[in-house]
Structure 1
Amino acid sequence: MTQGQTLISTSQIYELGFFNPNNDSAANQYVGIWYKNILPRKVVWVANREHPIIVTDSTATANLTIGSDGNLNLVDGNNRSVIWSTRIVGSPSNNSTIAVLSDDGNLVVTNGMTGHVLWQSFDHPGDTLLPRAEMGFNDENGERRVLTCWKAETDPSLGNFTVGVSPQTPPQLFVWNGSNPHWRSGQWDRTKFIGVPEMESSYLNGYKVEEGVGFSYQPPYNFTGMYAMFVISSKGLFKVLVNDQGTDWHTNWEAPNSSCDTYGVCGPFAVCNNFKSPICNCLKGFVPKSNEEWRNGNWKGGCVRRTELLCDGNSTSSSSTSHTSGGKKDGFWKKSMVKLPDLHEYVQIDYASDCNPWCQSNCSCLAYAFVNGIGCLVWFGGLVDIQEFSSGGADLFLRLAHSELVGDKKTKKVVISLAAIGTTAAIFGAIFFACYMRRRANQKGDIKDITKHFDLIETGDTSRNTLIQSTKPCDSFELSIFDFDSILVATNHFSVTNKLGQGGFGSVYKGKLHDGTDIAVKRLSSNSGQGIEELKNEMILISKLQHRNLVRLLGCCIYKEEKLIIYEFMPNKSLDFFLFDSRRRSELNWERRFNIIHGVAKGLLYLHRDSSLRVIHRDLKASNILLDGKMNPKISDFGLARIFQESIDLANTHRVVGTIGYMSPEYVMGGMFSEKSDVYSFGVLLLETVSGKRNTSFHDCDQQLSLIAHAWQLWSEGRALELMDEALLADSYSSADVVRCVEIGLVCAQDHPTDRPTMPEVVLMLTDNYQTHRPKPQRPLFFCQSSLKFHLQPQVATKCSANDATISIEGR
């Protein structure tokens, strides 16, 4: 096979040939494999990574051939030297050797007489792991199969980062930077890696880790037609790239994705939490090894034990504050929902009740965990790379001195006693600020006089008392408490030039903290009764949620009448900023729009089914979909959200809240809401994203009716493509994808809740590329939007004015 010729798999999925990373035929060439019909080309395997074909002015060209020794050889056309070879030992002659490119993307060399596989590219991976390929260990020759990144995007030679499976029980995935760990997945429990919370999702399956083989991925049956692959980038990002036969690949998941994902960022005996400030904190019973380094944000030195263990006998502790526990036995303190530390030892114990006695009786055992699917894990050295999650993870039991545990129990008794004294605002205020100051003391090392904060309770601050009385003590303070002065400086005293937007509950400002972190500050309106409720709801709710398609909450600030919520800053503002602006909406090409639709769907799926809570958002709309620097969507504004119990599917409220145009009929008319209410809102949002028009922009009841009705009419007449935003060129999107999205939007926005799909079904519809049967949408009850003010009783009207408002409203 010479340059210009290619080998194509049977179903024309993969192609093997000569290529140049810069698409320059005159530059150095490589032999590689790529997806045949997907542009831009994504090379998934390269034969001669370290030995490019040097292109000269000579007319001789390189060729890929089966040599006389039966090997597949890449031969230089000028001097006939072998640049690359399969190097099969004991291969048959070329008369019986066959090379085939399979539909799995595997280049296989076989003995044509016996069919025996002599060599395959899957045993020699590059920077990409394709479905059905394996990464790990080759039992036959002891060779490790790892992914190695390209040196740069246009240079296939070996880079610094590798991905592989650790040779321990249970195994873990690692990204290494040279020989140093860069990222770790956590232990494999036979269904998932417990350090990757996203694998908890029920629709993410098909992963396998087999002893002696390693890690592999088998796409589920309902993902037929969607291509997915694992890739290690030149910058050390381990990604899942997905393409459903569209125009480009998009990142479905990547790691490390935050500071806490970086291996050992907090050092030994410390835990990292992305939602706290600082992100690193010592485990209970431990103090920073160097207070100065800790204050400067250098946590690599980690923490040391504060109190000597009884097991240590008379040995000297490394901490100057250590003391013995009076001869009383050490105990164990439980830390829940964490990525378990690295450098574990596996103990053959089948029952959780036997794990504690084993560790208790062994003085070298500093911590243990029992994980279903694994068994008993123990740690003897420094506990490194612990990360705290809002959901998922496992329970870690840490050995502490008796006095550390007793002190903790005394504190709990005091709090419980105080809570039981009465229900007055002063007592709740004391508990509230005790939590506040304890939190600040732990995080900032700044202990202040608490009594002056208690004085604020007695000033008659009604809004503050309302918040205090209606908030369970300490519930909402798992995040940072910011000083009001620091927020003033960050926002330039809430300058107009820093203002990002105005909502129903107040204004949002851009700010920059002293460490350079960009933030968004929601300043709740002082005269909004909903503002207090929203603050309580968001601080309690979002602090317990963590997903790449949910906005990240950093903390809050309460000062006199000021109630502030601090979020991560989204540089591209919100979806409506682009979607409904005639000058900007062309920036939302079809690839970005579909990525937004898919991301919002996965975020809702997490809220409804996969998070530790079961959450109904109740105010999903374009202005509440924020966009990060890469235009990835993040659902925001949980002030109106409600938590559902597992056994309840439907609830009723006399307080109808939400945004006109997005609220489902049963919610508007009867106050009934459920998961299907969010599904309805998602359907409206999907149709708006496709069309670039607001659902409330159709104002002529006799002609346009509503966006839903208009879309259904076009779809039923086979003209669904006419709904597509005219700002996008016809050749810039897949017609089949657009029609599919319109159909899904209509199915979601049907009048009756029972006719709407669930979010797991929606996610499958968006990813299965028409392979799964979908119900056809029913004809909607044609209606128009009346005005911002409305009544729960039906009104008779023939003409409706246009309304572009997106403010969340409340009806009683």
Structure 2
Amino acid sequence: MKLGINFKTGHTWSLTSWRSENSPASGSFTLGLDPNSTSQLVILWQGDIYWTSGPWHNGHFEYVSRFAYDFKPNFRYFSDENEKYFIYSVDKSITYSRYKISPRGVIREVGNSFAPFGACSVALEAGDERKAGCTKKKLLPECRDPNIQFVIDTGYMDRAGFKFPENDNLSSFDCEDKCISNCSCVAYSSVNNDGTGCEIWSQGSVLPSYMIQRKIAHVVPHKEENKRQQELLFELGAATKPFVKYSNVKKLEKDRKKSNELQLFSFRSTATATNNFSIENKLGEGGFGPVYKGKLLDEQEIAIKRLSRSSGQGLTEFKNEIILIAKLQHNNLVRLLGCCIEGGEKILIYEYLPNKSLDFFLFDPNKKYLLDWKKRYNIIEGIAQGLLYLHKYSRLRVVHRDLKASNILLDNDMNPKISDFGMARIFGRNEFEANTNKIVGTYGYMSPEYAMEGIFSTKSDVFSFGVLLLEIVSCKKNYSNHHHERPLNLIGYAWELWKEGRALELMDQTLGDLCPNDVVLRCIHVGLLCVQENPMDRPTMSDVVSMFTNEILQLSEPRQPAFFIGRSPVESGISRNKSENCSLNNASISVMQAR
């Protein structure tokens, strides 16, 4: 038999796969001589190179193991001006020898399960199996776990799937590729009895049946990934309980409030609630991944944070957030309804808050008009109460470590709720500060002792609250240019106005003349007390709440704040234009070595 090409006639000798084991129609794979004039065999999949044998040299192919030739046909290569081809002969002791290429692109000896030339996977990363001759077909979509596995069950799917127009032309191998390339696909199956055609599902499960018997491949977690997930679920223990019929979520939520248990959602339920994580349901995207709006079967609206695989928030932070928030109950903390840990996915399910986050209004020149002083003061008080609960009245003493405008969510009535506890730390009742080499948080909100030395305490959150308080009053971000003559940050600008007796100039001018100046001035005063450089000088959150509720309480004079920038552009060597572009308080950092 020849595998090659006749240059005069253009005729090629090749092997083509069947579409399936039971359908002799031409399939997707072809084995033949390399069309690029090299002395090697190639397998083409849908016209693209899928496998190469490597150049023929000293009686063997470079990428084919030597043992593949033991007691096998002897290949020879011939080439002249008229034609070139590979041909093989067999030893007289072998009475029957024939090769074929399977519907899944594997070269096999008929009557023997041995595959002398190896096999490649559907979506192969470049170089993974280079020695075996496999070439890159395509990269996995970012949404897919590189360890994705399918298990085949017999039965039928409980939901309708999607069939492709070219159904009868697709092999099961092509169908698998269609599924892997579709981020929402959870299962696939051939359509016809001969194993051809393709149907994929974005939701549903395989159900047994005596009448309908289809072989359906569905995604299962990789063994190691599944092991890690099971370990995580075991660690969560009493913090979660399985979420079975998610149409009863309201009843389960009532039970959760009584027992402090969170629900364990299935991936299917989260995908269904978000219409398979459609772009129309996307609310936004943070450093850890996208957030989607979802709706359960009982019409309850939810917010779903789907951690990206490249996210800096791993299993540790994920577990941290679940365990922490399961034990925290307060009107000014966002409620976590449950989580999903399945197939490499790490998903958090929260109550849905329609007014997004505080920064959405605060730093928008048009939307900030929706925040009158009454709403702003209510937001300030709510944040203070939430922090006081975390620091003093919860069953755990919690330091949030990433308090900022984007982590303050707003409900229908613009009431604030502190969110995102992935970076939070639990303190013992007799523990007041800790040290870490891994600095987490957001530039512009981090206290100096934390940013510079890795030391954090409840006073670190107090500093962040002070920054946030000044931002709410002024509608300005901490790190941006606030004065036409000096590249001040917001803290420095507020301090200089305070020293000059002009602190009210910090107030956002859209608040108008009806704003109570004495209350605004008191808020600025409290804000400056919170951002003092020495943590011992800063008030506790108990003190802060008293300062707001007790108007006759005399406040001490603030000392110079941390990160005070007061030099002129000439002195500092920083141009005003450069300063205008230096707004850093939107990005969370997860790793930074302390000095």
TM score, norm. by length of structure 1: 0.41
Q: What secondary structure, in the 3-state scheme, does the structure 1 residue paired with 2:290 have?
A: strand
Counterparts in 2 of 1:492 and 1:563: CA distance versus 1, 3 Å? same
1-structure distance, mates of 2:230, 2:517: 51
Counterparts in 2 of 1:588 and 1:746: CA distance versus 1, 3 Å? same
526, 541, 556: which one aligns with 1:775: 556
Counterparts in 2 of 1:518 and 1:778: CA distance versus 1, 3 Å? same
2-structure distance, mates of 1:586, 1:563: 37
Indicate the residue corresponding to 1:599 in structure 2.
382
2:448–2:562 Cα contact (<8 Å) kept: no
Q: Does 1:746 align with 2:510?
A: no
2:363–2:476 Cα contact (<8 Å) kept: yes
Map 1:360-371 onto structure 2 (within 5 A). Answer: none
2:532–2:559 Cα contact (<8 Å) kept: yes
1:467–1:536 Cα contact (<8 Å) kept: no
Counterparts in 2 of 1:747 and 1:805: CA distance versus 1, 3 Å? closer
Q: Does 1:762 align with 2:544?
A: yes
Indicate the residue corresponding to 2:466 in structure 1.
683
- Bigger drift between 711-720 and 621-630 goes to 711-720
605, 618, 627: which one aligns with 2:410: 627
Residues 297-326 of structure 1 deviation map (CA, whole Å, 9 limit, x = unaligned)? xxxxxxxxxxxxxxxxxxxxxxxxxxxxxx
Q: 1:534: how far off?
A: 2.4
Counterparts in 2 of 1:497 and 1:473: CA distance versus 1, 3 Å? closer
Map 1:310-329 onto structure 2 (within 5 A). Answer: none
Q: What secondary structure, in the 3-state scheme, does the structure 2 residue paired with 1:537 have?
A: helix
Q: What secondary structure, in the 3-state scheme, does the structure 2 residue paired with 1:511 have?
A: strand
Q: Tell me the amino acid that sits aligned with residue 548 of structure 2.
A: L
2:529–2:538 Cα contact (<8 Å) kept: yes
1-structure distance, mates of 2:349, 2:562: 41
Indicate the residue corresponding to 1:468 in structure 2.
231
Counterparts in 2 of 1:471 and 1:709: CA distance versus 1, 3 Å? farther
Q: Does 1:807 align with 2:583?
A: no
Map 1:191-590 onto structure 2 (within 5 A). Answer: 459-461=223-225, 465=228, 468=231, 472-477=235-240, 478-590=261-373
Counterparts in 2 of 1:721 and 1:755: CA distance versus 1, 3 Å? same
Amino-acid identity (%): 55
Q: What secondary structure, in the 3-state scheme, does the structure 1 residue paired with 2:533 have?
A: coil
Q: 1:808: how far off?
A: 1.2
Q: Does 1:665 align with 2:448?
A: yes
1-structure distance, mates of 2:449, 2:233: 29
1:518–1:569 Cα contact (<8 Å) kept: yes
Q: 1:530: how far off?
A: 1.9
Counterparts in 2 of 1:807 and 1:476: CA distance versus 1, 3 Å? farther
1-structure distance, mates of 2:563, 2:480: 15
2:529–2:558 Cα contact (<8 Å) kept: yes
CA RMSD of aligned residues (A): 2.5
Q: Does 1:637 align with 2:417?
A: no
2-structure distance, mates of 1:529, 1:723: 36
Counterparts in 2 of 1:533 and 1:467: CA distance versus 1, 3 Å? farther
Indicate the residue corresponding to 2:56 in structure 1.
none
Counterparts in 2 of 1:473 and 1:713: CA distance versus 1, 3 Å? closer
1-structure distance, mates of 2:287, 2:223: 28
Indicate the residue corresponding to 1:798 in structure 2.
574
Residues 438-486 of structure 1 deviation map (CA, whole Å, 9 limit, x = unaligned)? xxxxxxxx9x99xxxxx96762328x62783696251541311112112
Q: Tell me the amino acid that sits aligned with residue 396 of structure 2.
A: L
496, 521, 525: which one aligns with 1:713: 496
TM score, norm. by length of structure 2: 0.56
Q: Tell me the amino acid that sits aligned with residue 742 of structure 1.
A: I
1-structure distance, mates of 2:362, 2:277: 27
2-structure distance, mates of 1:469, 1:580: 39
Q: 1:802: how far off?
A: 2.1
Q: 1:798: how far off?
A: 3.4
Map 1:85-234 onto structure 2 (within 5 A). Answer: none
Q: What secondary structure, in the 3-state scheme, does the structure 1 residue paired with 2:583 have?
A: coil
1-structure distance, mates of 2:320, 2:519: 37
Q: Tell me the amino acid that sits aligned with residue 465 of structure 1.
A: R
Indicate the residue corresponding to 1:117 in structure 2.
none
- Higher Rg of the two aligned structures: 2
Counterparts in 2 of 1:807 and 1:468: CA distance versus 1, 3 Å? farther
519, 531, 537: which one aligns with 1:737: 519
Q: Does 1:614 align with 2:397?
A: yes
Residues 65-110 of structure 1 deviation map (CA, whole Å, 9 limit, x = unaligned)? xxxxxxxxxxxxxxxxxxxxxxxxxxxxxxxxxxxxxxxxxxxxxx
2-structure distance, mates of 1:467, 1:772: 54
Indicate the residue corresponding to 2:481 in structure 1.
698
Counterparts in 2 of 1:548 and 1:469: CA distance versus 1, 3 Å? closer
* Higher RCO, Cα 8 Å, sep 6+: 2
- Unaligned segments of structure 1, at least 5 residues: 1-445, 450-454, 786-795
2-structure distance, mates of 1:458, 1:727: 56
Q: 1:675: how far off?
A: 0.3
Q: What secondary structure, in the 3-state scheme, does the structure 2 residue paired with 1:798 have?
A: coil
1:701–1:783 Cα contact (<8 Å) kept: no
Residues 338-366 of structure 1 deviation map (CA, whole Å, 9 limit, x = unaligned)? xxxxxxxxxxxxxxxxxxxxxxxxxxxxx
Q: 1:528: how far off?
A: 2.1
Indicate the residue corresponding to 1:727 in structure 2.
510
2-structure distance, mates of 1:467, 1:618: 29
Counterparts in 2 of 1:748 and 1:457: CA distance versus 1, 3 Å? same
Q: 1:772: how far off?
A: 1.0
Residues 28-51 of structure 1 deviation map (CA, whole Å, 9 limit, x = unaligned)? xxxxxxxxxxxxxxxxxxxxxxxx
2-structure distance, mates of 1:521, 1:640: 18
